[in-house]
């Protein structure tokens, strides 16, 4: 593959994820509404909200510094770079030659660092509360995520995400060892925590007693808020794509003619994960913040079990 | 090379191989920068007149440790280094707490040296020589049991100097009380010489040992990393916080060494190469960002007069350049791309994964993989800790009048910090050339181990090309800002921060204690927080007159490990004291008895 085609694929890759991200959120919201016996907003509502935010003037705190002003750009840049590490349509992710699963974890950490600092920057207690809780929850989610990645890497030959996907496709159904199912459950719990969903965080509320992610964004408004919200939605779709790439990569394209099929398969798989998420969110209650460690501890324990099963049983 | 010593028949010999050269490079480059800083920082200093001389002697002694060629020269340099740094810790000797701390440091340094001497005597006895080159040459003839004993003694001795848990207790006490440039040097460089000793001992002087040597080092590394960062999160004194981060980073370095040791015992040269490269690269990186952060803490101390982060805040407006340097150092120590801390932590992750994949038995494979989970926990907690340290110190409103009146640090201090901040960026973006340099230096030191040159491009099956990732990140960040402009221009209006309808006061801000609270509660079984709340009522009423709140964490190691040891020692001394009645006749009787016993034995 030549250079121009590579760049073209990368642009398609990122444009697709950015374009689908709000829609995924709309679908989950709609499905939750249906499950809860409500009508719910239209699926396209997140697009309208984002376009409106991006057109609005911003109000910036008088205490805000460069950290607050730069955070949306750095956050979005990190998440978008991480998006390029996960294979979505093409079997090799655009940045596969330059970064692996650990780079993905590092980019998420940089995004979190910047946003948590921005939460503290304006001096608002809500921002501080959000930052404090975000870093605490992430401290428990990150080991679980890494253990899952190690469990997959141990099986598939290394920390390269595209390599892992290709290996699983080559292995076919045999890839679904019990250890991999344990790792899958652990990863889904991590995704729930990292995307700020019930039972860890509630994406639908601004109530200060419960909020984590929203707390950090509270002082943002207008276009910067639009960029941050869109980037958070991108983070959600990247994490979903990670689940797909590590456990259900079947249907991904190896030749240009397979691209339409790959697109259809990817959208279907996202839809299936959206159903799972809306079921989880509708059937569980939000945990008290101090009970969250038990859930994420369970994720780490499952991931460790996956590793043990992987290494001992093979 | 050897030179005649100051006494007849005393010969000091030196050797300079790749490993020595690498550590000498770290010693010299960091001390050059801290010296620059010390000159600028002198106006805040109130030490005794000789402290400048001690500082110079300290640098020379550290250099001598890494180029020593025999046991005697090494121990001479090692002791000089310990004694001189004791003097430097005592700089502010008028405070009783400083004297107490320095005393604890002295005792632990010497206990450590005793273990090192023990290891050296065993090696000297079995190889019949004091020269390091002979130890390397005769390593294979060492009896395995003796080798294990030597390794154990060396691990305790060098591990104490490095600040490995549970031998770390001197470190978070001694580093904060020393002047900033000395703490920078002690934390950035001196503790790494413990690592130098350990690497020398286990890769040069001893033949490959059993895999459990490496397993112990891996376990100690993971423990030091996680507990170090957890304790750091609980600190409010900026320098004490940084000192605990040294314990954490020594843990990360030990993970690399542990991987290399297991790899060496199982005959896996590729694993040894990655593990050792990860450890040594982290040595260099930690030296750069830790010295930078200690100098930043010193600049804050000089400007505000306190290192208590609850009394700081808003410094980014008053000390913007210090803030920028401290931010770069914070991101680097938190292991964030594209800085140097990320590059070496990435390599440490790769070394753990590579060992996990290539080890023969499941138990050898599982330990490094699970240690990877511990390293991820460490990295995430480090992010939390530096969001707290930077956010509470530099952002939002000043929490005290002193912080509000702070002024930017002087030019020399800023230049010193900027040099190391640039080094953090350069070692991150230039991780591949830096690693190939280490790769060229180290094979000569650990000759039988590493034949291959290390580059980052592909280690195991991992991939990391830092400059390209950084470039993609920067361009995508730019796109995220520029692209929405197609929707037309927007303005930003400046207004108050929302504080539920009242004007924002510093007291409304989240404090460092509150920030760390979720983590303090999540890990309460480990850090054992103690809360002390007292409410005083107005006489005869139920109205509250005053509330006092104090929160600290129980000193677990001091209470349960060290107090137990010192308690026994004191009890033992009490027993012995009965024999000391101060009467001359009794002592003459003791001497007489001793002579009789000696004669009986020597009969």
Packing angle, helices A101-121 and A66-83, rounded to 10: 160
A293 in B contact zone (CB under 8 Å): yes
Partner-chain contact A113 B331, CB within 8 Å: yes
d(CA A36, CA A204): 14
**Residue of chain B with shortest Cα separation from A51:** B487
pLDDT, average across residues A209-224: 86
Q: Is A286 on the interface with B (CB under 8 A)?
A: no
pLDDT score at B439: 78
Torsion of CA B264, B267, B271, B272, to 10 degrees: 30
Q: Return left, alpha or beta for A199; rule: phi > 0 is left, psi -120 to 50 is alpha, else beta.
A: alpha
For B508, the closest chain A residue by CA position comes to A125
Residue A242 sits at the chain B interface (C-beta within 8 Å): no
CB A293 within 8 A of CB A140: yes
Helices (H), B446-549: 466-482, 512-522, 524-527
What does the alpha-carbon distance between residue A6 and residue B5 come to, in Å, rounded to a whole number?
Answer: 66
| Local structure of residue B188 (DSSP, 8 states) | I
When CB atoms are compared, the residue of B336, B346, B353 closest to A150 is B353
Q: What is the pLDDT of residue B461?
A: 61
Chain A hits for B373, Cβ within 8 Å:
143-144, 146-147, 150, 300, 303-304
pLDDT at B460: 57
Residues of chain A with Cβ-Cβ distance to B377 below 8 Å are 139-140, 142-143
| CB pair distance less than 8 Å for A219 and B387 | no
**Chain B residue with the nearest C-alpha to that of A84:** B472
Q: Give the residue from chain A lying closest to B395, CA to CA.
A: A121
- Chain A contact present for B493, CB below 8 A: yes
Contact A138 B390 (CB under 8 A): no
Measured between CB atoms, does B510 come within 8 Å of chain A?
Answer: yes
Among all residues of chain B, which has the CA nearest to that of A148?
B373
Q: Residue A304's Cα: distance from chain center in Å?
A: 22
Closest in B369, B487, B515 to A54, CB measured? B487
B499 contacts in chain A (CB < 8 Å): 124-125
Q: Quickly state the pLDDT bin for A206 (edges 50, 70, 90).
A: low
Per-residue confidence (pLDDT) for residue B455, from 0 to 100? 40
Polymer length of chain A: 314
Packed helices B269-304 and B191-199: angle between N→C axes, nearest 10 degrees: 170
Question: Following DSSP, what letter does each residue of A137-187 receive, concatenated?
Answer: HHHHHHHHHHHHHHHHHHHHTSS-HHHHHHHHHHHGGGG--HHHHHHHHHH
d(CA B290, CA B417): 11
Q: Which residues of B touch A58 (CB under 8 A)?
A: 490-493
pLDDT of amino acid A285: 87
Mean pLDDT of A173-196: 89
Chain B (288-327) residues lying within 8 Å, Cβ to Cβ, of chain A: 314, 316-317
Cβ contacts below 8 Å, chain A against chain B, sum to 289
Q: What is the per-residue pLDDT for B445?
A: 40
Q: What is the pLDDT of residue B47?
A: 62
**Partner residue facing A121 (CB), from B334, B395, B479:** B395
A10, closest residue in chain B (CA to CA): B472
Tens digits of residue pLDDT in A149-178: 999 998 888 888 888 888 888 888 777 788
C-alpha distance from B476 to closest chain A C-alpha (Å): 5
Which of B314, B337, B481 has the CB atom closest to A107's CB atom?
A: B337
- Nearest chain B residue (CA) to A80: B476
Q: Say whether residue A268 is in contact with chain B using an 8 A CB cutoff.
A: no
Distance from CA of A88 to the nearest CA of B (A): 18
A256 CB within 8 Å of a chain B CB: no
Cβ atoms of A215 and A119 closer than 8 Å: yes
What is the distance of C-alpha B543 from the center of its chain?
49
Average pLDDT over residues A105-129: 94
Residue identified by tokens 């456990």 is A247
* B460 contacts in chain A (CB < 8 Å): 158-159
**How distant is the Cα of B490 from the closest Cα of chain A, in angstroms?**
5
Contact A151/A183 with Cβ under 8 angstroms? yes
**Which DSSP state fits A90?**
B
Show the low-confidence residues of chain B (pLDDT under 50). Answer: 444-458
Give the model's pLDDT for residue B532. Answer: 85
- Which chain A residues are Cβ-neighbours of B375 within 8 angstroms? 146
End-to-end, the C-alpha distance of chain A in Å comes to 35
Which residue of A lies nearest to B318 if distances are taken between CA atoms? A65
Query: What confidence category does residue A196 fall into, taking pLDDT thresholds of 50, 70 and 90?
Result: confident
Task: Band the pLDDT of A290: cuts 50, 70, 90.
Answer: confident
For A19-67, how does the pLDDT look when each residue is reduced to its tens digit (9 = 90+)?
999 999 999 999 999 999 999 899 999 999 999 999 999 999 999 999 9
Cα angle A53, A57, A62 (rounded to 5 degrees) comes to 120
Calpha distance B238→B321 (Å, rounded): 18
| Sign of the torsion formed by the C-alpha atoms of A135, A137, A139 and A141 | negative
B512-537: burial string, b at 16+ Cβ within 10 Å, e else? bbbbbbbbbebbeeebeeeeeeeeee
Q: According to the model, what pLDDT value does residue B451 have?
A: 33
Across the interface, do B380 and A289 touch by the CB < 8 Å criterion? no
Contact with chain B for residue A115, Cβ under 8 A: no
Distance CA B289, CA B331 (A): 9
Give the pLDDT score at A244: 95
How many helices (H) and strands (E) in chain A?
11, 1
Residue B335: per-residue pLDDT = 95
């Amino acid at each position: 593959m030549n250079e121009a085609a590579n760049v073209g694929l990368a642009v398609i890759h990122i444009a697709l994820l950015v374009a689908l991200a709000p829609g995924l959120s709309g679908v989950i919201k709609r499905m939750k509404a249906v499950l809860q016996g409500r009508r719910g907003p239209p699926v396209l509502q997140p697009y309208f909200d984002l376009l409106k935010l991006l057109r609005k003037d911003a109000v910036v705190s008088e205490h805000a510094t460069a950290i607050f002003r730069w955070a949306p750009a750095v956050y979005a840049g990190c998440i978008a770079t991480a998006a390029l590490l996960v294979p979505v349509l093409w079997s090799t992710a655009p940045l596969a030659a330059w970064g692996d699963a650990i780079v993905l974890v590092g980019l998420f950490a940089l995004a979190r660092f910047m946003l948590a600092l921005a939460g503290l920057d304006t001096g608002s207690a809500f921002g501080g509360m959000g930052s404090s809780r975000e870093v605490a929850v992430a401290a428990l989610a990150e080991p679980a995520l890494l253990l899952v990645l190690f469990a997959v890497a141990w099986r598939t030959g290394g920390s390269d995400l595209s390599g892992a996907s290709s290996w699983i496709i080559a292995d076919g159904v045999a890839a679904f060892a019990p250890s991999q199912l344990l790792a899958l459950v652990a990863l889904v719990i991590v995704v729930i925590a990292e995307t700020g969903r019930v039972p860890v965080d509630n994406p639908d509320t601004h109530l200060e007693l419960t909020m984590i992610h929203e707390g950090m964004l509270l002082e943002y408004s207008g276009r910067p808020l639009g960029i941050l919200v869109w980037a958070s939605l991108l983070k959600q779709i990247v994490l979903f794509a990670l689940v797909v790439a590590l456990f259900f990569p079947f249907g991904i394209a190896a030749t240009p003619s397979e691209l339409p099929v790959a697109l259809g398969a990817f959208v279907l798989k996202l839809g299936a994960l959206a159903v799972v998420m809306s079921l989880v969110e509708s059937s569980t209650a939000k945990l008290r913040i101090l009970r969250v460690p038990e859930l994420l501890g369970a994720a780490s324990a499952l991931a460790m079990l996956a590793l043990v099963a992987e290494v001992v049983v093979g | 090379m050897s030179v005649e010593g100051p006494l007849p028949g005393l010969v000091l010999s030196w050797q300079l191989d790749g490993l020595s050269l690498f550590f000498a490079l770290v010693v010299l480059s960091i001390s050059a920068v801290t010296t620059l800083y010390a000159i600028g920082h002198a106006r805040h200093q109130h030490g005794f007149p000789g402290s400048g001389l001690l500082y110079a002697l300290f640098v020379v002694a550290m250099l001598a440790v890494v180029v020593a060629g025999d046991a005697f020269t090494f121990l001479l340099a090692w002791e000089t280094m310990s004694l001189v740094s004791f003097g430097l810790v005592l700089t502010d000797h008028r405070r009783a707490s400083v004297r107490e701390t320095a005393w604890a440091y002295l005792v632990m340094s010497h206990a450590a040296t005793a273990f090192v001497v023990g290891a050296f005597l065993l090696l000297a006895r079995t190889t019949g020589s004091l020269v390091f080159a002979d130890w390397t040459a005769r390593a294979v003839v060492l009896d395995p049991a003796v080798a294990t004993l030597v390794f154990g003694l060396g691990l305790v001795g060098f591990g104490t100097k490095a600040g490995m848990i549970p031998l770390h207790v001197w470190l978070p006490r001694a580093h904060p009380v020393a002047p900033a440039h000395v703490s920078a040097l002690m934390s950035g460089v001196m503790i790494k010489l413990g690592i130098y000793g350990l690497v020398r001992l286990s890769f040069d002087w001893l033949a490959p040992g059993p895999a459990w040597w490496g397993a112990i080092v891996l376990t100690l590394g993971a423990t030091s990393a996680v507990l170090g960062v957890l304790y750091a999160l609980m600190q409010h004194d900026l320098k004490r916080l940084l000192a605990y981060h040294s314990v954490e980073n020594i843990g990360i370095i030990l993970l690399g060494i542990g991987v290399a040791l297991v790899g060496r015992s199982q005959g896996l040269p590729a694993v040894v190469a990655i593990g050792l490269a990860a450890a040594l690269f982290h040595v260099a990186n930690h030296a750069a960002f830790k010295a930078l952060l200690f100098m930043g803490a010193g600049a804050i101390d000089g400007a505000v007069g306190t290192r208590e982060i609850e009394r700081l805040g808003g410094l980014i407006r008053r000390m913007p350049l210090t803030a920028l340097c401290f931010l770069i150092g914070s991101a680097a120590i938190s292991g964030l791309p594209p800085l140097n801390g990320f590059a070496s932590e990435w390599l440490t992750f790769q070394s753990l994964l590579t060992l996990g994949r290539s080890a023969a038995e499941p138990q050898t494979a599982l330990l490094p993989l699970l240690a990877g989970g511990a390293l991820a926990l460490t990295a995430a907690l480090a992010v939390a800790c530096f969001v707290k340290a930077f956010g509470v110190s530099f952002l939002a409103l000043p929490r005290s009048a002193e912080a509000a009146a702070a002024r930017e640090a002087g030019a020399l201090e800023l230049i010193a910090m900027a040099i190391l901040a640039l080094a953090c960026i350069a070692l991150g973006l230039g991780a591949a050339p830096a690693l190939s340099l280490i790769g060229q230096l180290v094979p000569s030191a650990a000759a039988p181990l590493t034949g291959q040159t290390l580059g980052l491009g592909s280690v195991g099956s991992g991939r990391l090309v830092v400059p390209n990732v950084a470039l993609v990140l920067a361009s995508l960040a730019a796109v995220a800002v520029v692209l929405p402009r197609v929707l037309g221009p927007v303005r930003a209006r400046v207004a108050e921060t929302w504080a539920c309808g009242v004007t924002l006061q510093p007291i409304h801000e989240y404090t460092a204690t509150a920030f760390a609270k979720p983590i303090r509660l999540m890990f309460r079984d480990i850090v054992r927080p103690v809360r002390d709340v007292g409410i005083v009522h107005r006489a005869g009423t139920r109205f509250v007159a005053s509330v006092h709140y104090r929160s600290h964490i129980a000193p677990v190691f001091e209470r349960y490990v060290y107090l137990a040891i010192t308690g026994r020692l004191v009890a033992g001394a009490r027993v012995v004291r009965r024999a000391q009645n101060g009467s001359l006749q009794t002592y003459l009787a003791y001497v007489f008895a001793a002579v009789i016993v000696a004669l009986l034995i020597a009969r």
